[in-house]
A and B are shown apart, each in its own frame.
Chain A
């Protein structure tokens, strides 16, 4: 049982990070950004290039990766999202699928699909908890997911800018009329979402050991499930959703360890998602009234 909790928490921290990024963009723009995982992976390759190939310190490579992908998020908002201002949000979501394919193709062309590896920010063997060795980076990812979720929630609730983000998402025209810098707000959520995804990827990569273009897609998908389970409008909910998804995955893996049923862990998460949508469509922490109409 202890092993399941530890494994669930490790995975949950990863999913939580992806979920927080997803929720931020959704809450600020009403759009699910399907490209986030791959944009984060792109940042990862940039970090590999700087850290592994050019010998730069981890922090420098990581910061550069976050900055560049944040810029990609901002540029995508400027030249795609903003131009689709009046389009249905679903259309914008489809545009993010286009971005996903574009980034994926770019990675394959420029860096190839050979597995790469990236060290974590910390060395050391970590701690053995309930039979599982938890690395410092894995522990950090859990803390970062929680911290970012709480910090962003505070920002959105307690600051004028944060309230502007929410207002702009719910009614951009009205928000603009009352002086909310809608374009700046929109650029912020898209840029921050991309940057957060990169942070997630940077913290996930050392635990995976090796990665390649598209290889983090499944993790992002589980992050998306975590966002929906937690409530697409709740940043702390995203963190909790990540933990729930991680625990369901680990539990099903343990219960059906001997089973040859294909994809039992994925199936378990899919069932969790379906049950959530049927029983509590707004998720564990989301609220009906705060959704975008």
Chain B
């Protein structure tokens, strides 16, 4: 073979490798991406004590759910209209999103089939398996399910790639599921949202942008949007680092950028000086140049996933650059950084509650019942899972998401269909329905089926078991200013 042709051929192979690496290993970091946690479920971290639009409420015991009796923390459910919960056939659903043929797909008298797209390839990032993720449903099903229905959740790998996520969603649909769940990933959710519209699939997903959701009808999330997260990081800077110069290291992605725009709007409003803003590529590896560009900053906001955040902090230390850091709070990051995560303490904004195995002090006490229940269930169903390791906080947020989903399905009632669930979702408004949950309000106008507005502010600390973990300093705050 001629030299030039051979070289060209290998170059082409090299490019193929690049693509391959982009689809496999290169994804890890996103693996541990920003919100890379609640891979399983919804996010609707809410449930009962719900009040809907008409104001009149009535209370029933946990929607008749057998699981309610098995758990001291399943709250009472309030539904509109007054009087006891209906025991006869429910009135027709208001929503007409689904045809009669589509309405009851995936739900029978004995089962509810759900499917999630998630970055399963990197499940190992959290030292978790599918069985670890399904502990909550194991407990629910063992207690009789929801109105006698067992909940079955399966998973399809989205590899943190929008294209693969759409393929995963298609595979999920092929299983005849009741609705689709979207795991963490700023980049894949918008693609699946578009897919859900054209494929008439009810889609409950993790944090994503408001941008791009105009006129969409099939997608919901109970978590704060990407924009809200950026706004809260901005408010945190304005509240805690007044007068300090700020640098931004951000993911170069249109699905992340709206968070930066929101951050900068807050910065402008409160006169925060942004001295440098640098975009980095997914899995860039070396960030020395960007770190050097941050030298004038007192505070650096890292709008990137956990691996990149870890690398940036580490590489900055090597450059003797030691600003205050703001980033997504994962125990994965703090435990990897160890002492470097405490000097100074890292600060984060999260859409999920902090978890540190066995610690019920401080703000953990506010949701101690949930922590105890979570630890008890894992002790029973998955005793070998190391909740004190990097998986602990991830599994806890996953668990709280499932708990919220559980309450949502109970709200939907014994005659639940997709249209009835849409009715529940569109009117869903709950104040701290269970201890580890923040408020959810789908009734706010102009928020495109996004019901989360509160976040948790966290900082790193030395946990009782000596690990460096995160803990809440402010729980469920909607504004800091």
**A282 contacts B7, C-beta separation under 8 Å:** yes
**A11 to B29 Cα, complex, angstroms:** 20
Which residues of A sit under 8 angstroms from B279, Cβ to Cβ?
259-260, 262
Q: Which of A77-85, A142-150, A170-178, A210-218 interfaces with chain B?
A: A210-218
Whether a CB of chain B sits under 8 angstroms from the CB of A121 is: no
Instruction: Digitize B253-278: 1 where CB-to-A-CB distance is under 8 Å, 0 elsewhere.
Output: 10000000000000000000000011
Which listed residue (B25, B26, B277, B311) contacts A208, Cβ 8 A? B311
Residues of A within 8 A of B306 (CB): 115
Tell me if A108 is interfacial: C-beta within 8 Å of chain B: yes
The answer to whether A281 and B284 have CB atoms under 8 Å apart is: no
The one of B124, B292, B313, B318 in contact with A113, judged by C-beta atoms closer than 8 angstroms, is B124
B293: A residues at CB distance < 8 A:
257
Interface residues of A in 91-142 (CB under 8 A from B): 93-94, 97, 100-101, 104, 108-109, 111-117, 125-126, 131-133, 135
Pick from B10-18, B78-86, B89-97, B135-143 the stretch touching chain A: B10-18
Whether A181 sits at the interface, judged by CB under 8 Å, is no
A209 near B315 with CB under 8 A, answer yes
Name which residue of chain A comes closest to B1, CB basis: A293
Contacts of A224 in B (CB 8 A): 14, 17
B278 touching A257, Cβ below 8 Å: yes
Say whether B390 faces chain A, with CB atoms less than 8 Å apart: yes
Name the contact of A212 in the complex, choosing from B2, B31, B284, B318 (C-beta under 8 A): B31
Identify the interface centre among B11, B288, B310: most chain A CB within 10 Å of its CB: B288
Bound together, the chains give a CA A263 to CA B282 distance in angstroms of 9
- A44 interfacial by beta-carbon distance below 8 Å: no
Q: Which of B378-412 contact A (CB under 8 A)?
A: 390
The distance from the CB of A73 to the nearest CB of chain B, in whole angstroms, is 18
In the bound complex, how far is the Cα of B11 from the Cα of A225, in angstroms? 8
Let me know if B214 is at the binding interface, CB within 8 A.
no
Question: Does any Cβ of A come within 8 Å of B122's Cβ?
Answer: yes
Q: Does B320 contact A (CB under 8 A)?
A: yes
A157 interfacial by beta-carbon distance below 8 Å: no
A72 within 8 A of B: no
Interface residues of A in 1-57 (CB under 8 A from B): 3, 7, 10-11, 32, 34, 38
A215–B1 Cα distance when bound, in Å, is 34
Contacts of A104 in B (CB 8 A): 24-25
Which residue of the partner chain B has the closest CB to A260? B279
B291–chain A nearest beta-carbon distance, Å: 10
CB-CB under 8 A for A209 and B311, given A114-B127, A277-B8: yes
Map CB proximity to A onto B13-57 as digits: 1 under 8 Å, 0 otherwise.
110111011001111110110000000000000000000000000
Query: Which among A10, A126, A262 has the highest number of chain B CB atoms within 10 Å?
Result: A262
A72, B332: Cα distance in complex, Å: 31
A152 at interface by CB-CB < 8 Å: no
Let me know if A208 and B390 touch, CB within 8 A. no
Q: With the chains together, A114 CA to B122 CA distance in Å?
A: 9
Residues of A within 8 A of B16 (CB): 97
B277 (CB) vs chain A CBs: closest residue: A258
- The complex places the Cα of A215 from the Cα of B28 at a distance, in Å, of 7
Q: How far is the CA of A186 from the CA of B122 in the complex (A)?
A: 35
Q: In B280-319, which residues have CB < 8 Å from any A CB?
A: 281, 283-286, 288-289, 292-293, 306-307, 310-315, 317-319
A228 touching B7, Cβ below 8 Å? yes
Interface centre among A94, A114, A292, A293 (most CB of B within 10 A): A114
Q: Which of B313-340 contact A (CB under 8 A)?
A: 313-315, 317-320, 332-333, 336
Residues of A within 8 A of B281 (CB): 262-263, 265-266
Residues of chain A within 8 A (CB-CB) of B9 are: 90
Q: How far is the CB of B15 from chain A (nearest CB, A)?
A: 8
Distance in angstroms from A6 CB to nearest chain B CB is: 9
Interface residues of A (CB under 8 A from B): 3, 7, 10-11, 32, 34, 38, 90, 93-94, 97, 100-101, 104, 108-109, 111-117, 125-126, 131-133, 135, 207-210, 212-219, 221, 224-225, 228, 232, 250, 253-254, 257-260, 262-263, 265-266, 273, 277, 281-283, 288, 291-293
B residues touching A (Cβ–Cβ < 8 Å)? Answer: 1-4, 6-11, 13-14, 16-18, 20-21, 24-29, 31-32, 121-122, 124-127, 252-253, 277-279, 281, 283-286, 288-289, 292-293, 306-307, 310-315, 317-320, 332-333, 336, 390
Contact sample, A vs B, 7 pairs, CB 8 Å cutoff: A94-B13, A209-B310, A212-B307, A213-B25, A218-B284, A253-B289, A277-B7
14 more A-B residue pairs beyond the given contacts A115-B336, A253-B289, A277-B4, with a C-beta to C-beta distance below 8 A: A32-B10, A100-B20, A114-B32, A115-B306, A132-B319, A135-B318, A215-B307, A257-B278, A257-B289, A257-B293, A265-B281, A281-B3, A281-B8, A282-B3
